Structure 1
Amino acid sequence: MNLNYLRTFVVVAETGNLSETAQRLFLTQPAVTQQVKHLENHFAVQLIERNNRGVTLTEAGELLYDYACRIVTLYDQLEGNIENLRASVSGNLTIGATSIIGSYAVPCSIGLFKEKFPEARLKLKVGNRKQIMHDLKEGYVDIALIEGKDLKGPFVKWELATDELVIIAPNKDPWRGRSTLTMEEFKVQPLIMREADSGTRQDIEETLRSVKVDPSQLNIIVELANVDSIKAAVEAGVGISIMSRLALRKELYTKTLLALRLEGINFTQKIYLAYYKERVQSKLAKAFVNFLRSPNRGFC
């Protein structure tokens, strides 16, 4: 039901005159009549009776007037309270995020949050897992988004998502047309890896050990801390790598890189949201946490 119809009906009831209602609401009289008719059709009952002095309410009209007044008042109060909440969700919030999340997901989330709470000032700090964990403990960031192993320590935490890791190769021979490779092929390929402190690197090595593969057996030719540098090196044919699908949306769409799976192994990693348990969270921080945890695309 259109709330404006109820607003119009309230004025009709209070003036007892369709023409005066139209003047007050800057509508035409036929428009007022049409809105009342919509309500009568909706409730399948007559709401007003016309007479020489204007209109009077039927019994059903009196009942609707009582409820319409309350509904309109409650809605106006709701809008006012929401506006007050928007105004109160302000101030500064520093968000720490590991490299892939911070580069490929959090900026989108911040943009959506700013649409809802334009007074909020958000700062994003990106680093590897060790750096972000340190900053969270020391209070340099208020909230952290971290991929990798479960977080240990005095944190309030939630699992936001599960991300798939895939082997990436250049879209050219001998990789073109392939979707998998064997463990023996994988071991001998020139491999470009993230630095040792990376949560992604730790997850990869832990998964390999779970299937009795020693990470020292891999043919690692270079370690790079920057995700874009790794993608550029793979695209240039320097070697292959393992990377989050989250970081590959553009390259897989443009087909400059291929995503392959290692036979018999699924590489996945959890994405966590956390803040320090002993630190009081601001209204802005609580609003951002609730936003990220909401099912309506809070976390991109």
Structure 2
Amino acid sequence: METEWLRTFIVAAKTENFRETAEKCFMMQSTVTKHIRHLEKELQTTLFERNSKQVKLNSVGAHFLHQAEKIVEAIDEAMNSTASFVNGFTSQLTIGVAPQIANSTLPLIIEIFQQKRPAIQLSIELLKSNEIGEAVYAGQIDIGLSKLTSTRDLQTEILAQEPLQLIVPMSKMESDAMTLLQQETILTHEYAAYWQEVQQVLGQFPSYKSMNLNQTEVIKNFVKQGLGIAFLPKSVIDADHQQQLLYSCSVQEFQHIVSNTYFLTKYVTADIEAFLEVCQIIYNNNDTAFCNN
């Protein structure tokens, strides 16, 4: 039984269209037909009901689809594992990370970790903070770097408690912060755990306006274009501030509000401990930078 037959069958079973299968698999439709016939001959049964206009997966085909997917997944895992071994990797970690972290501290974390542990292959998955805890608990990822904690029974470390900064367009850097909060649209997203605290303080401005964007990078771009202002953790906006792409400042009324970053894992191994250690080093250095700014 050829693996290629199985891959063709999986696509054909999901599309129930040999022409579409051929397009998706970049092969001739006649080749799709041959692969299915070879597979049916090997299994000594039919997998599709055929008529002049269409093919339809039968009950045997539906049962075999699940088995075929498991076989292909196991083969792919074995191939990837062997390729990693040949390339000098001895183990692998899958990291689920919130976009806000991926766009700020993650590159430095990865750089330092790979210097310290070059034999560990890393795989990165971008997830929303509210999805990361569940992914860790389900075993889909080994480590979660999230802006939210989890209700699941997980090993949890607080990596950082960062002060919030008010970010405004460079053209309005001389404006009074309190005036801006009353006049400008305040940009935020629902997965910012600190937003409720910000709202409580904003209660003294009954006329304030807000817009939900759900993506930190979009929020920053809107601010740069003069489309609003926002509260974001310091690490997220430091690079833009230093390059004078936007202006950031601390507002006394909001100084008690912090943005937490969490390290989540279901189990602890030497590799995971090593990754945690690098995260702590990076965030501790950032804390020192915060104090010096």
Instruction: Please tell me the TM-score bracket, short chain as reference.
Output: 0.5 to 0.7
2:274 to 274, 282, 287: 287
CA distance in 1, matches of 2:206, 2:131: 25
**Residue 186 in 1 paired to residue 181 in 2?**
yes
CA distance in 2, matches of 1:186, 1:296: 30
Q: 1:299 to 1:156 in 2, by over 3 A?
A: farther
Q: 1:282 to 1:299 in 2, by over 3 A?
A: farther
Q: Which residue of 1 is the match for residue 133 of structure 2?
A: 133
Q: 1:296 to 1:107 in 2, by over 3 A?
A: closer
Q: Which residue of 2 is the match for residue 159 of structure 1?
A: 158
Q: 1:176 offset after TM fit, Å? A: 2.6
Q: 1:100 offset after TM fit, Å? A: 1.4
Q: Which residue of 2 is the match for residue 235 of structure 1?
A: 224
CA distance in 2, matches of 1:139, 1:214: 44
User: How much is the aligned-residue C-alpha RMSD, in angstroms?
Assistant: 3.1
Q: 1:168 to 1:298 in 2, by over 3 A?
A: closer
Larger Cα-atom Rg: 1
* Residues 95-150 of structure 1: CA deviation (Å, up to 9, x unaligned): 112221122112211111111111110112222211212212222111111224x5
CA distance in 1, matches of 2:115, 2:236: 24
Normalized per residue, which structure has more strand?
1
Q: 1:225 offset after TM fit, Å? A: 2.7
- The TM-score normalised by the length of structure 1 is 0.58
Paired residues, number: 200
Alignment of 1:69-88 (within 5 A): none
Q: What is the identity, as a one-letter code, of the residue corresponding to 1:176?
A: M
Contact kept, 8 Å, 1:89 with 1:117, in 2: the verdict is no
Contact kept, 8 Å, 1:100 with 1:244, in 2: the verdict is no
Q: What secondary structure sits across from 2:214 in the alignment?
A: coil
CA distance in 2, matches of 1:258, 1:295: 24
Q: 1:165 offset after TM fit, Å? A: 1.5
Contact kept, 8 Å, 1:187 with 1:218, in 2: the verdict is yes
Q: 1:298 offset after TM fit, Å? A: 8.4
Q: Which residue of 2 is the match for residue 169 of structure 1?
A: 168
Gaps of 5+ in 2: 1-87, 288-293
Q: Which residue of 2 is the match for residue 145 of structure 1?
A: 145
**Residue 245 in 1 paired to residue 234 in 2?**
yes
Q: 1:232 to 1:291 in 2, by over 3 A?
A: closer
Contact kept, 8 Å, 2:166 with 2:249, in 1: the verdict is yes
Contact kept, 8 Å, 1:109 with 1:292, in 2: the verdict is yes
Q: Which residue of 2 is the match for residue 208 of structure 1?
A: 199
Q: 1:193 to 1:207 in 2, by over 3 A?
A: closer
Contact kept, 8 Å, 1:162 with 1:270, in 2: the verdict is yes
- The TM-score normalised by the length of structure 2 is 0.59
Q: 1:187 offset after TM fit, Å? A: 4.0
Task: Determine what percentage of the aligned residue pairs are the same residue.
Answer: 17
Q: 1:272 offset after TM fit, Å? A: 1.7
Contact kept, 8 Å, 2:164 with 2:254, in 1: the verdict is no
Q: What is the identity, as a one-letter code, of the residue corresponding to 1:284?
A: D
CA distance in 2, matches of 1:110, 1:295: 10
CA distance in 1, matches of 2:108, 2:223: 26
**Residue 268 in 1 paired to residue 255 in 2?**
no
Q: What is the identity, as a one-letter code, of the residue corresponding to 1:106?
A: L
Q: Which residue of 1 is the match for residue 116 of structure 2?
A: 116
